[in-house]
A = this chain, B = another copy of it.
Amino acid sequence: MFNKMLSKSEIKYIQSLFQKKFRDTENCYLAEGPKIVDEALTTPGITVKKIWALQEWVHRHQPMHPQVDMIPVAGFELEKISQLKTPNETVALIEKKDNENTGWHDAANLVLALDGIQDPGNLGTIIRTADWFGVPGIVCSSDCADVYNSKVVQSTMGSIFRIPVTYTDLPGWLAGQNNVPVYGAVLDGAPLHEKKSPANGILVIGNESKGIRPEVAAHLTHKITIGRIGSAESLNAAVAAGILLSYLR
C-alpha cells in the first residue's frame, strides 16, 4: 500500500519521549488517538510538529492541515511508537506551550493549586474537570506527576491544550499571594452547604493519600470539608476537585 517506513532512529526518537527528561530537553510531548489529535490540530496556539498515523487517517486529514508534516505508518509501526495498549490510528508530536508567561496567575478568577498529585490519571482528570469549570490555570507543587506524561495527556481528553499548568515551590508561591482567599478541603473544615462564587481565589487539592501538607495548609484562609455520610476513608482526588469546583464556581 505504501513504501515509506519508519527508520530505527525515528522510532528511537519517539520512544525517548516516553521519558520526562527527553520531553524536557526536546520541549515537546506525544498525544495519541484521533479525538485528541484532532483537538490538537484545531486548538488555537497549539503547534503540532509531526503526526504519524495510519495511511487512511493521513489521507483524510492532510488536505485540511497541509502545513502539518504527516507520516503514514503501518499498524505494526504504530504499535512501536504507541504507549496505549491498543494503538489508536495516530500519534502526534506537540510542542510544549510556555505556561510561565501567560499572566493567568493574576487573573481575577479561581486558580487551582495541586499539592503532590502523583497519579497521572488523577492529574489528567483534574485538568479536564478544571477545564469544564473554566479554571484559567493550575499551579502544581514540584512533586506532582508530569503533565506531559502520556497517561496525563490521554486522561485530560484534550483539556491539556487549553489549561496552562506550571510547577513551583507551592508553599513559597502561596506565601506570595496576598489578600487572595485560599480554599482547601481538610477534615475539620466548614461544611459545604451552598454555592459560593468568590470573584477570585485559589483552591488547593491535596495528595491522594496524605491530603494537604502542613506547610501548604498553613496558607489556607478558608478550610472546608466535603461532608461524609458513609464509610469510605477518603474521596478520589479528582472527584474531590470536581465537588469543590462545583461549589466554588
Contacts and interface: CB of A to CB of B under 8 A. Distances in A.
Interface of A: 121, 125, 128-135, 155, 157-159, 162, 192-195, 226, 228-236, 238-243, 246-247, 249
Contacts of A121: 121
26 contacts: A125-B239, A128-B236, A129-B232, A129-B235, A130-B230, A131-B231, A131-B232, A132-B228, A132-B230, A132-B232, A132-B235, A133-B228, A133-B230, A134-B229, A134-B231, A159-B231, A159-B232, A162-B230, A194-B194, A238-B239, A239-B239, A240-B242, A242-B242, A242-B243, A243-B246, A246-B246
- In the assembly, how many copies of this chain are there? 2
B128 A235 contact: yes
Nearest to A128: B232
Which are the 9 A-B pairs with shortest beta-carbon distances? A134-B229, A134-B230, A239-B242, A131-B232, A132-B232, A243-B246, A131-B230, A125-B236, A242-B243
A74 to B, nearest CB: 28
A248 B125 CA distance: 23
Contacts of A155: 236
Contacts of A233: 157-158
Contact of A194 (B195, B226, B238, B242): B195
B246 A135 contact: no
